[in-house]
Amino acid sequence: MKQRIASLILFIFGVLTPYSYGIQRFPKPEFETGYVQPQTSMPSARLEFLAYLDVAVLVLALSIVSWMVLKKRSRTGVFWISMFSLAYFGFYREGCVCSIGSIQNVSLAIFDLSYAIPISVLAFFLIPLIYTLFFGRTFCAAVCPFGAMQDLVAFKPQPIGIRLNTILGILPYLYLGLSVLYAATGTDFIICRYDPFVGIFRLNASFGMFVFAGILLASGVFIARPYCRFLCPYGVILNWFSRFSRRHMSITPSNCIQCRLCENSCPYDAIDIPVQSKDPESKQARVKKLILISLIMPLMIVAGAYAGLILHEPLAGIHSKVKLAKQVLNPPKDTKLADTFEMQAFKSSGKPQAQVYQEALLVLNKYKQASMILGGFLGLVFSLLIAGRMLKKYNPDYTPNKGRCFSCGRCMDFCPIKPGS
């Protein structure tokens, strides 16, 4: 019977494939007339209380997930909440408002006092951080729709090797720095602009973004949660907060018996294995290295700041005022390329060129400082990451890495010790 059902579904798909394309490929010409223009209508604004409803749903979802992870230790429960989040925050709310993007609103609000950040956006930024401080990254586990979508397709996760992991692990810091830079300078909200999943939620995006989303999801089958691990800027902040989490999930509900069954259970390489063997490096050598890194640290910050300084012009290149000034200064020879909307608006505004240049100069000056801070921040990140890998580590049991662990609960199922046993 089941085989028949499978064959029927196979038949339906097989028939639909050419039909769905062919029937619309050559539509019959229709020459009917009498088309009546529809009246222009403006969609009404979303009711204000719904924004608070979103916050309430966020709090509720976070509470339930935290309970599921820490008390119930239920991976299944986490999975179904992630499906709810995907449906609500993803497809119903179309990916907006989102905690990841809220970084930009907060940055802009800090650096531009004329910008009033909506309370709901601030709540979406702060509430997951507060929960993380107490319970670890339960937001990533099942409340973030981006994470939920990627988690759904992580069927065959493979380890990607320490080299690639290290190199790609730098990207979120870079992305965080850039998104704060561009938001703080009022340039752009790049997290939203280059959000790969929002196009899926809305079924509306540029072709390039659809391809990007497709690549991420396809690679997500083998490299679990690629966006969360190697791009998400909010993940960087959650990582920092989670390290200080008061009650983080544990793999075992009791004492670890070191059976090693959970060792390869995490698709995100977020389990710290016990270190019992002696560090092959002598204490003296490690102390030397630490002294060296503490000396190099300021140098790395300065080098980063210098790199930021020399890159401030290219970085500022995407600011609308700088872009316009460049176009005015060197209009493209191709008249089609030269006739951009921005140029048309500039011409019709009657604004003098000198003013355009002055405005662009102000932006460039702002970028000089901001780019230096970005570079310095990256220098600091590198030096701290390297220093962190020099510290002696005491880790007697298999434990989730508090910073990297998404609290998805997969590893719990691999532990032979059950609560109460």
Restricting to residues 330-389, name those near another protein by CB under 8 A.
Answer: 330-331, 346-348, 350-355, 357-358, 360-361, 364, 375, 378-379, 382, 385-386, 389
Restricting to residues 181-200, name those near another protein by CB under 8 A.
Answer: 200
Choose, by CB under 8 A, the member of 3, 39, 114, 284 that binds another protein: 3
Query: Is 326 a residue that touches another protein (CB under 8 A)?
Result: yes
Residue with smaller CB distance to another protein, 128 or 177: 177
Choose, by CB under 8 A, the member of 115, 155, 240, 244 that binds another protein: 155
Query: Is 420 a residue that touches another protein (CB under 8 A)?
Result: no
Cβ atoms of residues 146 and 100 within 8 Å = yes
Q: Which residue type occupies 137?
A: R
Q: Return phi, psi of residue 80, to 5°.
A: -70, -30
Residue with smaller CB distance to another protein, 56 or 345: 345
**Coil, strand, or helix at residue 271?**
strand
CA-CA distance, 313 to 251, in Å (whole number)? 49
Query: Is 305 a residue that touches another protein (CB under 8 A)?
Result: no
CA-CA distance, 78 to 29, in Å (whole number)? 52
Choose, by CB under 8 A, the member of 39, 44, 114, 276 that binds another protein: 276
Query: Is 24 a residue that touches another protein (CB under 8 A)?
Result: yes
Query: What Rg value do the Cα atoms of the chain yield, rounded?
Result: 26
Query: Is 318 a residue that touches another protein (CB under 8 A)?
Result: no
Residue with smaller CB distance to another protein, 55 or 170: 170
Residue 172 beta carbon to another protein: minimum distance, rounded to whole angstroms? 13
Question: Is the four-CA dihedral 343, 344, 349, 353 of positive or negative sign?
Answer: positive
Cβ atoms of residues 233 and 107 within 8 Å = no
Size of the site for another protein (CB under 8 A): 85
Q: Return phi, psi of residue 2, to 5°.
A: -65, -35
Residue 130 beta carbon to another protein: minimum distance, rounded to whole angstroms? 30
Cβ atoms of residues 231 and 176 within 8 Å = no
Residue 253 beta carbon to another protein: minimum distance, rounded to whole angstroms? 17
Query: Is 418 a residue that touches another protein (CB under 8 A)?
Result: no
Count Cβ neighbours within 10 Å for each residue of 110-127 and write b for 16 or more, e otherwise: eeeeeeebeebbebbbeb
Query: Is 299 a residue that touches another protein (CB under 8 A)?
Result: no
Restricting to residues 27-86, name those near another protein by CB under 8 A.
Answer: 27, 29-31
Pairing of strands 271-272, 399-400: antiparallel
Restricting to residues 113-152, name those near another protein by CB under 8 A.
Answer: 152
Choose, by CB under 8 A, the member of 247, 260, 288, 418 that binds another protein: 260
Residue 270 beta carbon to another protein: minimum distance, rounded to whole angstroms? 14
Q: What is the DSSP string of 4-62?
A: HHHHHHHHHHHHHHHHHHHHHHSPPP-------PPPP-PPPPPPHHHHHHHHHHHHHHH
> DSSP label at 69?
I
Restricting to residues 207-236, name those near another protein by CB under 8 A.
Answer: 207, 214
> DSSP label at 185?
T
Q: Given the rule CB under 8 A, which of 63-71, 115-123, 233-241, 261-269 is the region that contacts another protein?
A: 261-269
Choose, by CB under 8 A, the member of 114, 162, 246, 284 that binds another protein: 162
CA-CA distance, 210 to 212, in Å (whole number)? 5
Query: Is 6 a residue that touches another protein (CB under 8 A)?
Result: yes
